[in-house]
């Protein structure tokens, strides 16, 4: 565990400021190539590399819980599904009634899980290390619509604010005598008492924001000036092109192979 992370600390230390598009391309290309290759040594290597990079970059404390929240239920589900019930399996290791543990089933579950873990970790590593304003500025500079950038940035910044507001509404309702018991009816009633004020205030806010944005020319077409400079270099541009080409090549190769094989 310590070896890969120790070996990788050298890379981020001397890196120039990465353009968010470079890291996005890297994460997407890693995901595509890992899926296309579908071999467990590569998946394992990617998982190890992502873990190492997240430790080195100082994001491990946020990446790991998020990854665990996704991967633990997924892994349990796959293990239960394919480990116990895999009608295509031939090598039976154990059997209780309808449930048969087969070697093929376990291999399928393990391989699929490793591959998904690699993809999930690569993408999470990107999303937890990228700075959203930089990403938005980089996207707008490339001609991606300001509207998409607005939706992305607005959602990511609204999330904590709305969670806090939901909490305040719950406290307010509780101070008015809301008691949630275990019965379904009571839970539904409680949901309504909290959801209606929340949604209402959100829609009202949105109306205000729409007027403000419209007054600042959100719907106008034409070039925009950004105050935020995002670092970029010729080398990063080359890296991006190479990564995209590599991912495309891997996907095409895999599809052609499958077409030829069956």
Residue with tokens 């349990």: 76
- The footprint of another protein on residues 103-132 (CB under 8 A) is 104, 108-109, 111-112, 115-116, 119-120, 123-124, 127
Instruction: Rule CB under 8 A: say whether 21 interacts with another protein.
Output: no
How many residues bind to another protein according to rule CB under 8 A?
78
Q: Element (H or E) spanning 5, and its range?
A: helix 2-8
Give the interface segment with another protein, choosing from 12-20, 37-45, 50-58, 224-232 (CB under 8 A): 37-45
Instruction: Rule CB under 8 A: say whether 178 interacts with another protein.
Output: no
- Report the length, in residues, of the chain: 262
* SS3 assignment, position 228: coil
175 vs 219, which CB is nearer to another protein? 219
Binding-residue pattern over the window 125 to 164 for another protein, x denoting contact by CB under 8 A: --x-----------------x-xx-xxx-xxx-xx--xx-
**Which residue in 163, 138, 101 sits closest to 20, CA to CA?**
138
Instruction: Rule CB under 8 A: say whether 251 interacts with another protein.
Output: yes
The C-alpha atoms of residue 223 and residue 205 are separated, in whole angstroms, by 28
Does residue 101 contact residue 83 with C-beta atoms inside 8 Å?
yes
* SS3 assignment, position 20: helix
Half-sphere exposure of 147 (CA within 13 A, CB side): 7
Does residue 94 contact residue 101 with C-beta atoms inside 8 Å?
yes
70 vs 178, which CB is nearer to another protein? 70
187 vs 235, which CB is nearer to another protein? 187
- The footprint of another protein on residues 190-219 (CB under 8 A) is 192, 195-196, 199-200, 202-207, 209-210, 213-215, 218-219
The C-alpha atoms of residue 128 and residue 131 are separated, in whole angstroms, by 8
CB of 82 to another protein, least distance (A): 7
Q: Which residues contact 254 (CB under 8 A, 6 or more apart)?
A: 36, 37, 38
Instruction: Rule CB under 8 A: say whether 70 interacts with another protein.
Output: yes
Instruction: Rule CB under 8 A: say whether 226 interacts with another protein.
Output: no
Which residue of 10, 12, 16, 38 would you call a contact of another protein, by CB under 8 A?
38
Instruction: Rule CB under 8 A: say whether 82 interacts with another protein.
Output: yes
């Amino acid at each position: 565990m310590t070896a890969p992370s120790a070996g990788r600390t050298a890379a981020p230390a001397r890196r120039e400021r990465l353009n968010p598009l470079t890291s996005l391309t890297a994460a997407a290309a890693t995901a595509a190539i890992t899926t296309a290759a579908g071999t467990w040594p590569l998946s394992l290597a990617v998982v190890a590399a992502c873990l190492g990079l997240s430790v080195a970059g100082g994001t491990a404390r946020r990446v790991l819980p998020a990854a665990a929240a996704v991967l633990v239920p997924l892994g349990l589900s796959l293990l239960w599904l394919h480990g116990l019930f895999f009608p295509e399996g031939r090598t039976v290791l154990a059997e209780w009634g309808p449930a048969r543990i087969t070697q093929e089933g376990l291999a399928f579950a393990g391989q699929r899980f490793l591959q998904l873990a690699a993809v999930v970790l690569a993408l999470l590593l990107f999303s937890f290390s990228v700075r959203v304003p930089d990403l938005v500025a980089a996207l707008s500079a490339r001609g991606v619509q300001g509207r998409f950038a607005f939706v992305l940035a607005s959602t990511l910044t609204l999330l904590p604010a709305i969670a806090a507001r939901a909490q305040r509404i719950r406290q307010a309702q509780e101070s008015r005598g809301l008691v949630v018991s275990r019965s379904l009816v009571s839970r539904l009633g409680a949901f309504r008492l909290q959801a209606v004020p929340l949604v209402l205030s959100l829609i009202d806010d949105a109306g205000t924001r729409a007027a403000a944005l419209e007054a600042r020319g959100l719907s106008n077409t034409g070039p925009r000036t950004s105050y935020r400079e995002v670092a970029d270099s010729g080398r990063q541009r080359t890296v991006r092109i190479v990564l995209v080409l590599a991912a495309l090549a891997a996907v095409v190769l895999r599809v052609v192979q499958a077409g030829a094989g069956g």
